[in-house]
Structure 1
Amino acid sequence: MNSDAKRAYNVTILFIFISLASVLISLNTGTLRISPIKVIQTFFGYGDFKSTTILFDYRMPRILITMLAGIGLGISGAILQGISRNPLADPGILGLHAGASFGLVIFVTYFHSMDEKASILIPLFTFAGGVLAAFLIVVLSYERYKGIIPIRLILVGIAVSAGFSAVTLFLSLRLNEETYTFASRWLVGNVWGRDWIHVIALLPWILILVPYTWFQSKTLNALSLGDDVAAGLGASVERNRLLMLATAVGLSCASVAMAGGIGFIGLVAPHLARRLVGSMYQHFLPVSGLIGMVILVLADTIGRSIFAPNAIPAGIVVAAIGAPYFLYLLTKTK
């Protein structure tokens, strides 16, 4: 094992422990507090009725959603930064979240909530909205004889995001009061009220697309070096870029389908991971996913503890952290 791989291994193990600590803190945080010892006892079947109900009926689904969504957003951002060769790429900035929001508004127009079995369809609707946004971005970024121009992806994405946001706002104003309240809570990244059915809806997307992304590390390494270099290494540039873009769309849209319109994680997590373990995708992809998970779990924990009993949506907490970091990157990026 070379020095880079050893460093990546050590950092990954460190963040696994940080993730476990974050989850344990989150399980112990809320209006009704449960000590860490009682949390562990409850997991092994020795908890009382109150502890079991709080953990398994209320907190565990919510925490699992934040864990899975954080991983999906962190890895999606890493993919987008590689295929666009732009360190400021992010599913939200690129317009994918706006497309997902459009898909969700279409969903609530017909199903009106996230309750029961209809929740399984939410990632499909948000994915369809994200695919539509990605299709427009690819078409508008394409130039004959040159293919997709990476630098245009960001600029076109900002424009597409603005367009979808305007349409989504218009459609949401036509909803009834109850459905509009639900949609507005989702748009700011509120994870409150998630159930096991929402975990089941999100889990397959993460279990399939995250390992697939890691197996495509060499492809992402090649694409991040430039089209000419990637072609010289034998990669099918346009085909692989579209496949990885579709993977990023699936991860980000499925994640925001259950966690809400949370931005900046896809920007911050890959940057921090790259600083810690280097730019080789096989090394920093796992770390990027773990950092995204830690950020979202802690953001949700902070939002429902510091301002208790009035919980602050996790999306607002992430934005409060991510916006200054984004400005910092703007000043450092040439």
Structure 2
Amino acid sequence: MIAPHLIRRQRLIIFILCALIIATFIIGLGMGASSVSFDRIIPTILGNGTFKEEFVLFSIRLPRILITVLAGMALALSGSILQSITRNDLADPGIIGINAGAGVGVAIFFLFFPVDVGSFIYVLPAVAFLGALLTAILIYAFSYSKKEGLQPVRLVLVGIGFSMALSGVMIVLISSAERSKVDFIAKWLAGNIWGNDWAFVWAILPWLVILIPFTLFKANKLNLLNLSEPVAIGVGVSLEKERIVLLLTAVALAASAVSVTGGIAFIGLLSPHIAKALVGPRNQLFIPVAILTGGWLLLLADTIGRNIINFSSIPAGIIVSLIGAPYFIYLLFKK
């Protein structure tokens, strides 16, 4: 049973995070290369804006902001699942190579297969999922021992090795590609939010609508998987079955986000840690907080990156890395 004061704390933190997301959302709508004054945002949303204001808000800013929030939520949930099933606080889809696997899948599809503009947006998450899934299977296989089961430390080390190897594969692919396609892949690697159309919102939204409730339904199983293997088996958990199902869930979430935002790391690392520090390690409590934290962090990073330089923008992935890399080093020393 969860203590009532923890539930009250969770609700308060969720309210604060929703307020932060809304505030950053409004700031992001108003700021940019073509700024819209804040007193014109609500009238424009209600249909009383000029053509320019409506075009900037509805065709450029609003879809990009929604995509950023949804992708941040997906990455945060993916990281939360990975940390629970591996019992390793350093697990993150970007760090352990899942994002890199999705990226290689996207690059191969984009560079060597005929691209149909109409279906490209919807096929891309599936391609990213296949690349991420193959990578996750290999990482899991190399990290698993028949005697000791899944070894969390080995999983992180193997994942980092795969991430580096796949980065080399990406460089080889780029070296033989056309210049226009190389530019796209380079932006993808930097973690640029390149999906900025309503179609990308509809491409990523179904994954979250299905997988967030599914993960919350499995929250108690995640609590048990976070314990030692003998304890989990002793209470009747089908260990390998649950791990595989939840690993597939984490891969699907990471792939759906990566397919529209590019290679963004550390959101899946930071968000669960912040959530656990605020409400404790119970998955029922921290997963909703982690989801909102991830959405807000990525939205904040993208808003800063778009506006920090007048005539250019810094990819959100770089802004997140400036925050996440020192924290990752801190965790390495701590653990």
TM-score range, shorter chain: over 0.9
Of the three residues 240, 260, 263, the one matched with 2:265 is 263
What is the DSSP-based 3-state SS (H/G/I as helix, E as strand, rest coil) of the residue aligned with 1:91?
A: coil
Q: What is the alpha-carbon distance in structure 1 between the residues aligned to residue 108 and residue 266 of structure 2? A: 24
Aligned AA (1:332): K
Instruction: Tell me the residue number matched to 1:130.
Output: 132
Matched with 1:227 is 229
| Whole-angstrom CA distance in 2 between matches of 1:111 and 1:42 | 41
1:87: Cα distance to partner? Answer: 0.8
Distance 1:134 1:34 in 2: 43
2:202 is matched with which residue?
A: 200
Distance 2:188 2:12 in 1: 36
Q: Which consecutive residues of structure 2, in runs of 5 or more, have no partner in the other structure?
A: none
Residue 26 of structure 1 corresponds to which residue in structure 2?
A: 28
The superposition leaves residues 154-212 of structure 1 with CA deviations (integer Å, 9 ceiling, x where unpaired) of: 12111222222211211121111100111110111111462111111111111111111
- SS of the counterpart of 1:88? coil
Letter in 1 for 2:158: V
Residue 149 (structure 1) shift: 2.6
> Does residue 139 of structure 1 match 2:170?
no
Match among 182, 185, 198 for residue 183 of structure 1: 185
Cα distance change on mapping 1:189 and 1:55 into 2, 3 Å: same
| One-letter identity of the residue aligned with 2:166 | F
Question: In the TM superposition, what is the alpha-carbon distance from 1:114 to its structure 2 partner?
Answer: 9.2
Residues 113, 179 of structure 1: 8 Å contact kept: no
1:74 Cα deviation from its structure 2 partner: 0.7
Contact 2:194–2:260 (Cα < 8 Å) also in 1: no
Name the CA shift for 1:213/1:202 in 2 (closer, same or farther; >3 Å). same
Match of 2:14 among 12, 15, 18: 12
Quick one: which amino acid aligns to residue 92 of structure 2?
D
Deviations 1:95-128 (A, max 9, x none): 1011011111112113577954311111111110
CA shift at 1:312, angstroms?
A: 0.8
Counterparts of 1:247 and 1:193, CA distance in 2: 22
Is contact 1:191-1:260 (8 Å) kept?
A: yes
Write the distance in 1 (CA, Å) between the matches of 2:173 and 2:77: 30
| Distance (whole Å) between structure 2 residues aligned to residue 268 and residue 193 of structure 1 | 23
Asked if the contact 1:123–1:254 (Cα under 8 Å) also holds between the matched residues in 2, the reply is: yes
How does the TM-score come out when normalised to structure 2? 0.95
Match runs of 1:61-210 below 5 Å: 61-110=63-112, 115-192=117-194, 194-210=196-212
Deviation at 1:143, TM superposition (A): 1.8
- What amino acid is the match of 1:286? P
CA contact (8 A) 2:67 2:200 kept: yes
Q: Which amino acid aligns with 2:258?
A: V
Q: Give the AA of the match of 2:260.
A: M
Give the match for residue 290 of structure 1: 292
CA contact (8 A) 1:70 1:295 kept: yes
> What is residue 52 of structure 1 aligned with on the other side?
54
* SS at structure 1 position matched to 2:259: helix
Q: Contact between 1:66 and 1:297, CA under 8 Å: does it hold in 2?
A: yes
**Displacement of 1:230 after TM fit?**
1.2
Amino acid corresponding to residue 108 of structure 2 in structure 1: I
Distance 1:299 1:105 in 2: 25
Please, which runs of 5 or more residues in structure 1 have no aligned partner?
none
Q: How many Å separate the matches in 1 of 2:267 and 2:72?
A: 7
AA partner of residue 325 (structure 2): A
Task: Tell me if structure 2 keeps the 8 A contact 1:147–1:238.
Answer: no
Distance 1:145 1:328 in 2: 31
Letter in 2 for 1:246: L
TM-superposed CA distance for 1:50, in Å, is: 1.3
Q: TM-score, normalised by structure 1?
A: 0.96
1:148–1:238: 8 Å Cα contact kept in structure 2?
Answer: no
* Structure 2 CA distance for partners of 1:149 and 1:331, relative to 1, 3 Å: closer
Instruction: Provide, for residues 62-98 of structure 1, a one-character-per-residue CA deviation record: whole Å limited to 9, x for no partner.
Output: 1111010000011111111111111111111111011
In the aligned structure 2, how far is the partner of 1:161 from the partner of 1:243?
22
Superposition deviation, residue 283 in structure 1: 0.6
Aligned identity (percent) is: 44
- Match for residue 316 of structure 2? 314
Residue correspondences, number: 333
Please tell me the residue identity of whatever aligns with 1:204.
P
